[in-house]
A and B are shown apart, each in its own frame.
Chain A
Amino acid sequence: MLQYAWLIPLLPFLGFWWILFAGRRAPGEGAYVAIGALMASAVLSVAAFIEVLRGGHYETNLVWAVLAGRPLEIGFQVDPLTAVMLLVVTVVGSLIFIYSIGYMHGDPRYPRFFAYMSLFAASMLLLVLANDFLALYAGWELVGLCSYLLIGFWFERPAAARASMKAFVTTRVGDLFMFLGILLIFLTLGTLNFEEIFEGVEAGRMTGGLLTLAAVLVFGGAVGKSAQVPLHVWLPDAMEGPTPVSALIHAATMVAAGVYLVARMYPLFFGTPSHEALTLVAYIGGITAIMAATIGVVQDDIKRVMAYSTISQLGYMMMGLGVLGFTAGVFHLMTHAFFKALLFLAAGSVIHAMHTNDIKQMGGLGQVMPYTYGTMLVGGLALAGIPPFAGFWSKDEILLEAYHHDQGLFIIGAVGAFLTAFYIFRMIIYTFTGTLRSHEAHPHESPRVMTVPLVILAIFSTVVGFVGAPWWDNPFHHFVRFEAAEGVAFDLNFAIMSTAIAAAGSLAALIVYRWQWVSSASLRRAVGPLYTAVVRKYYWDELYQFVIVRPVVWAARRLRTFDVYVIDGAVNAVGAVIVWFARLYRIFDLYVVDGAVNLIGWTAKTLGGVLRYVQTGRPQNYLLVIALGVIALVVVGVIR
């Protein structure tokens, strides 16, 4: 089956065109096409996964351009890392597509939604299948495009329009660095193919500071895409998109692409002097993890809680990769895809029922929405890291790796884990327990087409972590691994401790928000100015507005003025000077050149006028003149 792997991205791509052109005439108005294509890809992915599990490997190349005899190839490969990603994208994607039938029901641009989602799936699959930077970059930008289109799907809302642009431009800043990294690698090693790049690095053809620079530049792309500090600002705003979009693109798959990129390019990062590029990855990840977690605690918008949670969890993945826990990082990517998609879809179900995102308006939904409540609870437990749910296994591994690598990062991670449990249960308690606070809303359980995917995802979120459990000799570790960065073995005592941290966070949330032994207001007062900083999201947006957006717009306006008045002014000035000279010449011409000509004419004319009187036309006058002439001649002759 592996030789058909190229079909995996192609099917959703064809689905995209089909829906785009058929529009309302597409089967199920596009939904069936999109789901059918992606599920077919899912089947192919499962088949591919099984073959890779048996040791299969696949690679294919296509000459994309020949430049002066040097071919530039694009190609696909399937290795364990790709196989896992394929599975995640197609399975989670299919479930989200099905859910969207219910969620997007009645939307005026229903077919277009599925067209964009199909294009996204195709691009994401291209991204994970790519075996070279060219195809990867193409997929990378195309998922960014789909993200742009889908965040702005309800573009009539100005906030959505603004958010979509912010997302695209912010990630493009990251992509700029990545592109420079690609250029640097190409210049040094003369290839864009991953295998050849790794061989070059291994052979020592790219070393030292240059290699670090290239790795850090490539990481810049990951920082943008995976919403790491300092380019994380776009992801919370991206929640303006429809919830299935947030689940698929901004939680499960696209934002994880940055993590995937670091994992894919691991030899590049690993080969830097004393793994310094990985240290940077780890610290960026750690800072992101804790910073986003603190902001998540104060959010009242259900989706924004999730958004900051996603940023934070992506930080954990980066941290895992950075502390040489290659497997741990990828493992968390996989489990997170399932439980965060679940959490988002459950949140979507709530929004569908309540028509608001504000958790302060909600309350007591547990009774009317049992499926949503139950599945959300599973997702929350998985996110918090309570065993046996999926998130526990992967997060525990990351913390363990951090503990053995860098104590400082471990403490950051542990505090973050506490906060994670706290904010997610704060959200769940606000939403599902107590009594309904809004008076206009009439909540109801969502239709089955939405709840069934929720249940399936809940099952996944419960069991998928077992592939990394120690009971069956930790199969995930044997499948996705990096030789030189073997993970630390499972440690029961450590697992008990990480569970305790998660449990403490959950308990704290219960104390404050459920049982209300401590009022949240008093907590707010206790932390004082820190609270303000957190509510204002550490002023990142204001900083960018002040340091980048306004100066650029200002410079653009100034340059426009410069263009009109200085450059064009100079051109017009040259023109004016020439015209002025022309005038001068005209005066000269008029009075001197033409004057001279006129003088001659005038002289001739005057002369003629005078001489005119000579010519009277009377014979007697002429005879008189002749006679006078003869006399004169005679007189002259006589005098001589």
Chain B
Amino acid sequence: MLSLIIFLPLLGGLIILFLPKTSERAMKQIALICSTASLVFSLLAVTQFRLGGGMQFQERYSWIPSIAVNYHLGVDGLSLPLIVLTAVLSVLSVIYSWRMDVRLKEYLFLFLLLETGMLGVFAALDFFLFYIFWEVTLVPMYFLIGIWGGPRREYAAIKFFLYTLVGSLAMLLAILILYFNAEPHTFSMLELIRQQPLADAPLLAALAFWGFFLSFAIKVPMWPFHTWLPDAHVEAPTAGSVILAGILLKMGTYGFVRVSLPMLPGTFKAYAFFIAVLALLGIVYGALVAMAQTDLKKLVAYSSVNHMGYVMLGIAAAAGAVGDPSKAAAAATALNGAVFEMIAHGIITGGLFFIVGVLYDYRAHTRGVDEFGGLGARLPVYSGITTLAMLASLGLPGLMGFVAEFLVFLGSFGVFPYLTAVAVTGVVFTAAMFLWTIQRIFLGPLNPRWATLADMDAREKLTLVPLAVLMVIFGLYPKPLLDLINAAMSGLVTALR
């Protein structure tokens, strides 16, 4: 099941490679079919998922027995929502990219390869496999930015690639530290969690922790490792930005929850406060810098720094509560909030990048926030969906972002009350930032330059309406999704107690 979900997109990509260059329609259809099939299977997995059943749909085959590498897949309440999110955003990105006409074959192949890599990262339970998938995501994204990107694409692509590669190498080192200290040597993540090989070696544990930290923190990105993000986002093509913000960033936070927290809980606890401070800086700093941006895409990119700060605050709070049973409830709440924020941010910010693309790619060809004005009267549907997404992003109750922020704050406050109190101020800055943006683009008198702009067409609606619906549904009643997440998070917190 999981292998099918992961490799269906790659299969589609390989088929596309063998099609003649002229059959563009067939290529797009295959891409759509394969990514949709992957989505359908992932939804099927959700229906068959048993709450409280731990790791499920496990697949395990011996791969390189001499160094104990296995092909081992499995999902729990943490990874399953992320897999579905990946599949959803991939399908929508393919739909959005329908009009792509530059080197379509390579584009679709790389895109599908990227999807396979991302799905693999979330499903892999063997570090060797995890690392391979992790690196697989890097290459297609490099080319997506470097070939289909904006004017400074080469710079952005190389920056993205090298920056994350540095992180990957640190992670490789950390993985090897774990591997060689486990007895017997193993790459199995579940086995490493059970063994806790570095529990009695604080120095090595710290080394491994910072190795993982560097890799994940760059990916998240945490302050001050965030500067690759605005460049990569601004230069990437729309679908690339969506995937980058929606999924690739989540790989970092996923790593913190899947690897750092359960494998090195004691070390994480020791540095939890420091990491929470970095998260706090990301929250306030991200919101303020976003406010000063005049490029819409950069603005959304910095708002990601802000929102990923909430995720990291929740995770750091959970780490800070390790070993303290009286704070276990707060830790579980914070972790639930953090994971929910991952999904919420994927949906909302993914949506926001589509929104920027709708305006930039085929209409205005500019992203300068101050160059618009009064579009609300001209583009009612577009304005409505944009406003909805931005309100969701600023944490309005009834929409997804609120649930996430509410839970993160509710939990973190029990662990780091003062830090959280400062972090809550970020909410005001975020609100000011998005409302100011709405005001500058949609309100006021219509700028005559845009008097002939067309509203969203059917395909654009098809990409954005599902995301808007998800924002509302899980914002009003998050229980179905939270039950799934909570199943994994309460188990994790119990294990850490």
Contacts and interface: CB of A to CB of B under 8 A. Distances in A.
A141 B479 contact: no
Contact of B292 (A145, A156, A559, A571): A559
5 contacts: A68-B336, A70-B329, A152-B443, A164-B435, A556-B288
B407 interface: yes
Interface string B402-436: 11001101110110010011001101110110011
A161 B443 contact: yes
A161 B437 CA distance: 11
B374 to A, nearest CB: 6
A179 B431 contact: no
Interface stretch (A169-177, A423-431, A517-525, A602-610): A169-177
B444 A161 contact: yes
Interface in A166-207: 168-169, 172-173, 176, 179-180, 183-184, 186-187, 190
Contacts of B428: 169, 172-173, 176
A567 interface: yes
B419 to A, nearest CB: 12
Interface in B441-460: 442-446
A141 B413 contact: no
Contacts of A157: 444
Query: Which 10 pairs show the lowest CB-CB distances between chains A and B?
Result: A68-B332, A138-B397, A161-B443, A568-B227, A556-B292, A68-B490, A155-B443, A560-B292, A183-B413, A556-B291
A67 B486 contact: yes
Contacts of B486: 65-68
Interface in A98-141: 134, 137-141
B328 A68 contact: yes
Nearest to A568: B227
A139 B397 CA distance: 8
Interface in B319-354: 328-330, 332-333, 336
Given A67-B329, A152-B443, A183 B227 contact: no
Nearest to B336: A67
B482 A65 contact: yes
Contacts of B162: 575
Contacts of B333: 67-68, 70
Given A155-B442, A556-B291, A571-B228, A67 B435 contact: no
Contacts of A559: 285, 288-289, 292
B199 to A, nearest CB: 24
Nearest to B429: A552
B376 interface: yes
Given A559-B285, A560-B292, A64 B424 contact: no
Given A68-B490, A140-B397, A164-B439, 12 more contacts: A66-B482, A138-B397, A142-B398, A155-B443, A156-B444, A161-B443, A164-B435, A183-B417, A186-B413, A553-B292, A563-B289, A570-B224
A65 B478 contact: yes
A161 B490 CA distance: 45
B292 to A, nearest CB: 4
B368 to A, nearest CB: 15
Contacts, number: 150
A467 interface: no
A146 B441 CA distance: 19
- By DSSP majority rule, is chain B's interface helix, strand, loop, or mixed? helix
Contacts of B177: none
A64 to B, nearest CB: 6
Contacts of B56: none
A559 B286 CA distance: 9
B165 interface: no
Interface of B: 159, 162-163, 224, 226-228, 285, 288-289, 291-293, 328-330, 332-333, 336, 374, 376-377, 391, 396-398, 402-403, 406-407, 409-411, 413-414, 417, 420-421, 424-425, 427-429, 431-432, 435-436, 439, 442-446, 477-479, 482-483, 486, 489-490, 493
A568 to B, nearest CB: 4
Given A64-B478, A169-B431, A183-B410, A141 B291 contact: no
Contacts of A527: none
A597 B465 CA distance: 65
Contacts of A134: 406
Contact of A64 (B374, B411, B477): B477
Contact of A142 (B227, B396, B425, B446): B396
A186 B443 CA distance: 39
Kindly name the residue among A68, A164, A168, A172 whose own CB sees the greatest number of chain B CB atoms within 10 A: A68
A155 B376 contact: yes
A156 B397 contact: no
Contacts of B482: 65-67
Given A67-B329, A142-B396, A161-B444, A555 B435 contact: no
Contacts of A160: 443
Contact of B432 (A164, A169, A560, A571): A169
Q: How large is the interface on A (under 10, 10 to 19, 20 to 34, 35 or more residues)?
A: 35 or more
A162 interface: yes
Nearest to B433: A556
A158 interface: yes
A586 interface: no
Contacts of A190: 329
Contacts of B424: 176, 179-180, 183
A599 B334 CA distance: 66
A145 B434 CA distance: 13
Contacts of B420: 183
Contact of A165 (B291, B328, B436): B436
Contacts of B224: 567, 570
Contacts of B292: 553, 556-557, 559-560
A169 B409 CA distance: 20
A571 B218 CA distance: 12
Contacts of B421: 180, 183
Contacts of B285: 559, 563
Contact of B374 (A68, A142, A156, A571): A156
A172 B329 contact: no
A138 to B, nearest CB: 4
A69 interface: yes
B479 A68 contact: no
Given A68-B332, A179-B424, A575-B162, A556 B289 contact: yes
A165 B417 CA distance: 30
B234 to A, nearest CB: 12
A604 B485 CA distance: 71
Contacts of B403: 65
B288 to A, nearest CB: 4
A179 B428 CA distance: 12
A158 B445 contact: yes
Contact of B493 (A68, A139, A172): A68
A66 B336 CA distance: 10
B443 A169 contact: no
Contact of A155 (B288, B291, B407, B444): B444
B166 to A, nearest CB: 9
Interface string A555-586: 11101100100011011000100000000000
Interface string A198-230: 000000000000000000000000000000000
A139 B402 CA distance: 13
Contacts of B478: 64-65
B490 A69 contact: yes
Contacts of B330: 187
Nearest to B391: A145
A63 interface: yes
B218 to A, nearest CB: 10
Nearest to B340: A65
B277 to A, nearest CB: 16
A187 B291 contact: no
Nearest to B334: A67
Nearest to B332: A68
A70 B333 CA distance: 9
Contacts of A165: 432, 435-436, 439
Interface string A371-386: 0000000000000000
Nearest to A162: B439
